[in-house]
Amino acid sequence: MTSKRLLAAAGGAAGLYFGIVGLDVVNASRGEQALLTEVATQMSQAAAAQKSAAREEGAVANFQDSIQQHEQSVQTVEAEIGVVQQRLQELKQLREARLVLVADAQAALEEARAKLAKLLSEAKRHQTAATAAQQALTQAHQHTLEAKQGVHPLQHPLVRSFMGR
């Protein structure tokens, strides 16, 4: 082999080597560039996700505040319900007490009506008795007058019949 050939063979081998290694370098560089692009894309998406997460954290905080306000509102309403139920119970007791008073008054009214009817009956009976006594008194008075007339000798029925009057 001649030195030219040897040199050409060595140069071809070196060229081949540098070509293969150069291709590896280009491929590695492209891979690195692709990874840099992927890293940039992922970093951008991570930043967007962080912004979205921050917005969602704000929304979560707002919902938690809203829930707390609604729970306080529910507690307030429950307290008001308790007060209303207590008042309702008091009113029911008052109603029951007044119904008892009404029943007592009704019973007293019936008793008073019965007593009034009895008193009116007694008054009528006494009025009837008084009328009968008045008639008896009138008759007794008439009899007394007649008796008094019989005491006077000139008023005696025998004398009167004799005198012709």
DSSP H helices, the chain, are 3-151, 157-163
Percent of the chain with pLDDT over 90: 62
Angle at 132 between CA 129 and CA 136, to 5 degrees: 135
| pLDDT > 60? residue 44 | yes
The least confident of 27-41, 76-90, 95-109, 148-162 is 148-162
Q: Which two tokens stand for residue 37?
A: 């692009």
Q: What is the mean pLDDT of residues 80-95?
A: 97
Phi, psi (deg, nearest 5) at residue 152: -75, 125
What CA–CA distance (Å, rounded) separates 72 from 81? 14
Q: What is the mean pLDDT of residues 2-28?
A: 66
Q: Which residue has the tokens 């492209």?
A: 30
| pLDDT > 60? residue 165 | no
Q: Which two tokens stand for residue 164?
A: 């012709």
Q: What is the mean pLDDT of residues 24-44?
A: 85
Q: What is the mean pLDDT of residues 131-150?
A: 86
Q: How confident is the model at residue 143 (pLDDT cuts 50, 70, 90)?
A: confident
What CA–CA distance (Å, rounded) separates 119 from 127? 12
For residue 107, what are the contacts with CB-CB under 8 A and spacing of at least 6?
none
Residue 164 falls in which region: left (phi positive, over 0), alpha (psi -120 to 50) or beta: left
The predicted pLDDT at position 130 comes to 92
- Rounded to the nearest integer, the mean pLDDT of the chain is 86
| pLDDT > 90? residue 12 | no
What CA–CA distance (Å, rounded) separates 85 from 88? 5
Q: What is the pLDDT of residues 50-64, one digit of tens each?
A: 999 999 999 999 999
For residue 9, what are the contacts with CB-CB under 8 A and spacing of at least 6?
1
| pLDDT > 60? residue 7 | no
Q: How confident is the model at residue 145 (pLDDT cuts 50, 70, 90)?
A: confident
The answer to whether the predicted template modeling score (pTM) of the entire model surpasses 0.75 is: no
The least confident of 34-38, 89-93, 109-113 is 34-38
